[in-house]
């Protein structure tokens, strides 16, 4: 089980990838080859039965020799961990994108970020299957949990940039738990519909905000920088 953000025993998603992937490429050619392999894995994961995916089928889909796959990944699970890491990096970038117009309050910020995250996952069916489908490996699950903890840290910074949160010392921890609540509701949606429906996004936002209201005041004052942006 992943530890809470800030715990000394926590392991970053990058460290999980480093321990799992056989060799991390440094040259442009190797980096490009790994991305091709991850693209092929993503396509297979979206449209192929889980038991039919192997390093050989990944090599065939990517159009590269099998030894080239073994050069970077010792087994199929290592490819899946690397793919999970790529998804979490995309989600982290998405969580930091500017918003226009600015959300009216912290509750609306939560709703917007959840909607954007759900849209990304729905555009990447392989990510949905990887994180919410049956048969998820321990390593992928661990990376997902640690990725959520890192995402909570970004969400906390996102909120602090817009609102005065100086008194909210445990904000990262509360946001990490709210993301776990969100994930649980999205998993129900995936099990029932094969996607994260708009109705379940509303439900996940409602549940996350209800939890956060146990600790956050209903109104948070805006930071001076955000107030200037709104006036302009």
Tokens of 48: 């192929």
The half-sphere exposure of 191 on its side-chain side, counting CA atoms within 13 A, is 8
Give the residue with greater pLDDT, 13 vs 38. Answer: 38
Q: How confident is the model at residue 156 (pLDDT cuts 50, 70, 90)?
A: very high
Its pTM stands at 0.85
In this structure, of 21-25, 112-116, 166-170, the range with the lowest mean pLDDT score is 21-25
Q: What confidence tens digit (pLDDT) does each residue in 44-69 have?
A: 999 888 888 999 999 999 999 999 99
Q: At what angle do helices 106-123 and 138-162 cross, to 10 degrees?
A: 140
**What is the spatial distance between Cα 177 and Cα 175, in angstroms, rounded to a whole number?**
5
Residue 136 sits at the vertex; the CA angle it makes with 132 and 139, to the nearest 5 degrees, is 120
Cβ contact 81:139 at 8 Å: yes
Cβ contact 201:209 at 8 Å: no
Q: What confidence tens digit (pLDDT) does each residue in 108-155 have?
A: 999 999 999 999 999 999 999 999 987 778 888 888 888 899 999 999
């Amino acid at each position: 089980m992943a530890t809470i953000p800030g715990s000394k025993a926590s392991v970053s998603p990058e460290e999980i990838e480093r321990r799992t992937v056989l060799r991390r490429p440094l040259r442009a050619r190797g980096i490009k080859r790994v991305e091709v392999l991850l693209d092929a894995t993503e396509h297979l994961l979206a449209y192929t039965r889980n038991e039919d995916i192997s390093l050989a089928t990944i090599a065939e889909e990517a159009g590269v020799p099998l030894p080239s796959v073994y050069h970077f990944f010792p087994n199929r699970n290592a490819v899946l961990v690397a793919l999970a890491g790529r998804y979490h990096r995309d989600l982290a970038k998405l969580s930091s994108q500017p918003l226009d117009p600015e959300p009216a309050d912290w509750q609306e910020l939560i709703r917007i970020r959840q909607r954007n995250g759900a849209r990304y996952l729905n555009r990447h069916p392989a990510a949905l299957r990887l994180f919410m489908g049956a048969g998820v490996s321990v390593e992928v699950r661990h990376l997902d949990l640690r990725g959520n903890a890192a995402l909570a840290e970004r969400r906390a910074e996102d909120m602090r940039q817009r609102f005065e949160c100086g008194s909210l010392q445990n904000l990262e921890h509360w946001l990490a738990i709210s993301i776990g609540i969100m994930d649980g509701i999205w998993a129900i949606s995936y099990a029932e519909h094969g996607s994260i429906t708009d109705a379940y996004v509303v439900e996940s936002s409602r549940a996350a905000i209800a939890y956060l209201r146990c600790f956050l005041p209903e109104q948070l004052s805006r930071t001076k920088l955000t107030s200037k942006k709104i006036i302009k």
